[in-house]
Amino acid sequence: MNRKKLMFIVMIVICLHSLAVLTGSSQVLAREFKDVKSTHPASEAIEWASTEEIIGGFEDRTFRPNTLLTEAQFAAMLTRYYPEIKKEAATFKELDGKIWSNSTYEALSRFHVPLLGYENRAYRNQPMMRGLLAQVISYVNGQSSKLEESIHYLLDENISTGQSMQSTNLLEMYGARNHVTRAQAVLFFHRLDQQGKTELAKKVYTNQGSALIGSVQAVQMKKRAAQKADPRMQPKDVAGYITGQKLPVKPTYIKNILITNKQLPLPKQFAPGENKEARTQFKRMAAEAKKAGFHLTAFSTYRSFDYQTNLYNKYAKRDGKNMADRYSARPAYSEHQTGLAFDIGETGQQKHWASDSFGNTKAAKWLANHAHSYGFILRYPSGKEHITGYMHESWHFRFVGKAISESIYKRGITLEEYVDM
């Protein structure tokens, strides 16, 4: 093939490609999400949001449009959408980078944005309700933050439509207590962008407060902002579990670490048994502890879904569901189902097994100071219930591997903080 013919073919290919782009015949989304077809009602909005980096997809190239959005995730979208809030959040992230949502909530509190999760972090992991979303959007656009008035604003401005038009009750018609999916949230922000509502209202921006993290002023700002959130928008389950959450098909890995907690359940059929590497490292640790005079035993490791179901039900019947949720995982949410959790005590000292009293023993102190050398972490440390979702358990250790366990130990953080949850 001579050079002239080759150049002619190249020019034809370029022209055809240009024509396809101009006519939009390619119909490929910006991030090529496998589960978002061009016919999806929110496909254009999702493409816009991903391109603008307001929200992203998952590692498997899915967007999961029907997955419920948590309050913290909505707060993150809000922060990325408004430059003024984004700038403020960046400042706080430099000061406190332990939990990714902290800087977001710190920034939003300075603008007095109505949300529930400022003080009670359990609310951050609850699904966002449409009513609270209406309050936020109305407020940042310089309108009322009262629930009914906020809904009227969204309807009047065509930012939203109702969900039960036959109802004569405003809250029911709008679906105020209904949860927001990822796709629905994107549609809200896309409509704001289309209407040119891309900046905070002047009175919101000018009323911005200034206070150091942890100061009395900062605490008061958070309280005032939380008080703006209508109490009818509080989720019914504040134990940390996501209301209405369905069990996944596959377990969740973050930074290549298998994670399960009150927000990330395991599949019902997930049954790996006790992890062999965890058992090997426990034996090494027990041998070393023996030299120090402690005879360690792992009195509870792997538990099946059915076993955890019976155990949790027993505790809930005995102590009530609210109390049980503080120390026992609901079925599919237990670390023991991963085969990586080891409840550790001393042989012949059953009175201290799974008891607060174990924390006062010399064996527990030895464990707390040496477990990380064998790949184990104290999973539920004291003073971290608002992060882990569970009260302090001096006997509950989780195997994560030596490199990770040493990092967590040296930094004095939880597994949630390590994976930036």
Q: Which active-site residues does the annotation give? A: 393
- Burial class of residue 203, CB neighbours in 10 A (0-12, 13-18, 19+): exposed
Q: Tell me, what DSSP letter sits at residue 195?
A: T
The strand pairing partners of 253, in sequence order, are 258
**Contact (CB, 8 A) for 112 and 209:** yes
The strand pairing partners of 341, in sequence order, are 398
**Contact (CB, 8 A) for 70 and 126:** yes
**Contact (CB, 8 A) for 392 and 274:** no
Secondary structure (3-state) at 395: strand
The strand pairing partners of 343, in sequence order, are 300, 396
**Contact (CB, 8 A) for 367 and 344:** yes
Secondary structure (3-state) at 259: strand
State how far Cα 141 lies from the chain centre: 27
Distance CA 120, CA 180 (A): 20
The strand pairing partners of 113, in sequence order, are none
The strand pairing partners of 47, in sequence order, are none
Query: What's the sign of the alpha-carbon dihedral 141, 143, 149, 155?
Result: negative
Provide the 10 A C-beta neighbour count for residue 84: 17
Cα dihedral 145/148/150/154 (nearest 10): 170
Query: What's the sign of the alpha-carbon dihedral 97, 66, 74, 193?
Result: positive
Alpha carbon of 67 to those of 115, 236, 248: distances in Å?
20, 19, 11
